[in-house]
């Protein structure tokens, strides 16, 4: 029997790199794709295939997937991990920046799926693992409208896709992480402060940044996400959703049972508390 083949996007660091390592260790032939190929030399050393891919370049997606199919003759797993966090007020984040957020998080993800589906349908088997977020269910992230919107889109499209692909033997699973140690937080905060760090939303930007700083002190390791992906890939009957990582399960339970206004009030108080903590720590370090 041919070795099963997995594709992992966004594999140059953090979560994606750990997913690629775990799938390889569990016996799969893994293709790790990312823009920063130079950051994947350690994956090459392990025997993982690394290739350049910008998920916003649809022609490159077709070329890369075609090359993988030519080399292996099959694709068994697609892990759509590539993602971006664009934070800042809706008023101040430019439309081009917002569009790019959706190009990466939504349209790049869908184009990857379109590229692998002909092969998976022919095989009458396959697993598509979409990296969503607790933000795909919990919309109370201060100044996170663009990011939240993109992850809500991933959730909804995955649910619909799951039904249309079931007759072809293809499963769709969603990973919903909470706070995870990665480069994502720093990039999200930098973009938020660039967009809204001065002007009418500056105080909210500082409050949101303080909340992220406090939350990520307790962030789970990328291995937590990689293990959830392993379960989604190797289980005979994978779950539809895997809720993992710091803060994800409590927030999901609150969303399920509490009214929206109570959720708004809770997260507003949490952001305010985080800013107070950060202000106290800053004062103590002076």
Residue 51 has a pLDDT of 98
For 5-281, CATH number? 3.40.50.720
**pTM, entire model:** 0.94
pLDDT (tens digit, 9 = 90+) per residue, 209-250? Answer: 999 999 899 999 999 999 999 999 999 999 999 999 999 999
Sequence ranges of the domains in the chain:
5-281
**Catalytic hit among 147, 201, 216, 242:** 147
Angle between helix 260-285 and 202-215 (nearest 10): 80
| pLDDT at position 280 | 81
When pLDDT is averaged across residues 24-39 and rounded to a whole number, the result is 97
Token pair recorded at residue 235:
């289980």
Provide the token pair at 143.
Answer: 């100044």
pLDDT digits (tens, 9 = 90+) for 167-207: 999 999 999 999 999 889 999 999 999 999 999 999 999 99
32: pLDDT strictly greater than 80: yes
Res. 281 pLDDT band, cuts 50 70 90: confident
pLDDT in tens, 89-105: 999 999 999 999 999 99
The yes-or-no answer on residue 147 being catalytic is yes
Rounded to an integer, what distance in angstroms lies between the CA atom of residue 146 and that of residue 98? 6
| pLDDT tens per residue, range 134-178 | 999 999 999 999 999 999 999 999 999 999 999 999 999 999 999
């Amino acid at each position: 029997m041919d070795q099963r083949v997995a594709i992992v996007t966004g594999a140059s660091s953090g979560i994606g790199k750990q997913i690629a390592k775990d799938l390889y260790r569990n016996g799969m032939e893994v293709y790790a794709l990312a823009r920063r190929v130079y950051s994947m030399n350690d994956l090459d050393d392990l025997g993982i295939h690394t290739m350049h891919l910008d998920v916003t370049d649809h022609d490159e997606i077709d070329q890369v997937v075609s090359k993988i199919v030519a080399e292996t003759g099959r694709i068994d797993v697609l892990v759509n991990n590539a993602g971006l966090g664009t934070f800042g007020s809706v008023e101040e984040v430019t439309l081009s920046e917002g569009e790019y957020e959706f190009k990466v998080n939504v349209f790049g993800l869908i184009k990857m799926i379109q590229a692998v589906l002909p092969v998976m349908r022919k095989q009458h088997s396959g697993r598509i693992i979409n990296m969503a977020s607790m933000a795909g269910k919990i919309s109370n992230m201060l100044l996170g409208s663009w990011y939240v919107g993109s992850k809500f889109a991933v959730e909804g499209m995955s649910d619909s896709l799951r039904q249309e692909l079931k007759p072809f033997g293809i499963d769709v699973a969603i990973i919903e992480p909470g706070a995870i140690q990665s480069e994502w937080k720093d990039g999200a905060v930098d973009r938020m402060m660039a967009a809204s760090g001065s002007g009418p939303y500056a105080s909210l930007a500082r409050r949101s940044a303080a909340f992220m700083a406090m939350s990520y002190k307790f962030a789970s390791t990328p291995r937590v996400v990689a293990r959830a992906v392993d379960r989604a890939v190797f289980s005979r009957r994978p779950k539809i959703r895997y809720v993992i990582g710091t803060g994800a399960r409590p927030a999901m339970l609150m969303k399920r049972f509490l009214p929206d206004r109570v959720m708004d009030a809770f997260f507003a108080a949490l952001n305010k508390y985080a800013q107070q903590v950060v202000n106290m720590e800053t004062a103590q370090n002076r």
